[in-house]
Amino acid sequence: MARMAIKNQGNAVFPDRAAQRELKLEALYEHAASAFNEKGFHGTSLDDIAAALGVSKPALYRYVPNKQALLYRLHCISLDAAEAAVTEGEASPTDGVERLRIALYLYIRSLTASSSACLVLMEEGAMTGAAAAEILSRRRAFEGRFRTLVSAGIRDGSVAPCDPKFAVFSILGAGNWVSRWYRPGGTRSGEDVARIMSRQLVRGLAADPSRYHLDGDVRHAS
């Protein structure tokens, strides 16, 4: 019994360590992503991040091997969420324009869900070497899947004939921009923002725009 208790304590302690570490890592990601977005990668010093976390600068190196790797990981987190969004959109049992809307909705929602998932969209140029190539290629593939959604929608008649390239630049550009102005705690939740914007943007591409009335989201429209 005594042994078991000790053992349980022991068992309890180690997960705590790991859990604490995971928490700190997540906090690091959030702060770093937030800072990178606001001040840029090169404009953010590790001192800034460390100070925001309340630790010393060298402490960061227990969680991330270096600043470049930190940026790389944030990009990965961001892309993971983005790819999950488009995957779920693709798999939705509906017609082309709706699949597009769902993918866009989920993508924008992911951008509002956490700093780590969104706030480094603009800092692709700061990466170098193989990491840069990998991230760029994943980002391109992500956009390609959106273009495929548009093309499919054109084929099934639910999307108005248009150039998929510009269509996707439009909606993803507008979506990415969300990370610039959206801050949690405002009058609208991330879901609200994602719903409103995805409907508005997809309405511009729909073969039958009347499917997407915008009234329900009106505010201060008088």
Q: What is the per-residue binding string for DNA in 30-69, x denoting contact by CB under 7 A?
A: --------------xxxxx------xxxxx-xx--xxxx-
Shortest spacing between CB 212 and a second copy, in angstroms = 8
- Of the candidate residues 65, 161, 184, 191, the single one contacting a second copy (CB under 8 A): 161
CA 199, CA 139: separation in Å to the nearest integer?
23
Shortest spacing between CB 160 and a second copy, in angstroms = 5
Shortest spacing between CB 61 and DNA, in angstroms = 5
CA 153, CA 150: separation in Å to the nearest integer?
5
Number of residues that bind a second copy (CB under 8 A): 51
CA 116, CA 110: separation in Å to the nearest integer?
10
91 CB-side CA count, 13 A: 7
What residues between 67 and 106 interact with DNA by CB under 7 A? Answer: 67-68
218 contact, one of DNA, a second copy, none, CB 5-8 Å limit per kind: a second copy
Strand partners, 206: 159
Cβ-proximal residues to 208 (8 Å cutoff; 6+ apart), any chain: 158
What residues between 136 and 155 interact with a second copy by CB under 8 A? Answer: 151, 154
**Cβ 146 vs Cβ 103: under 8 Å:** yes
Residues forming the site for DNA (CB under 7 A): 13, 17, 21, 24, 44-48, 55-59, 61-62, 65-68
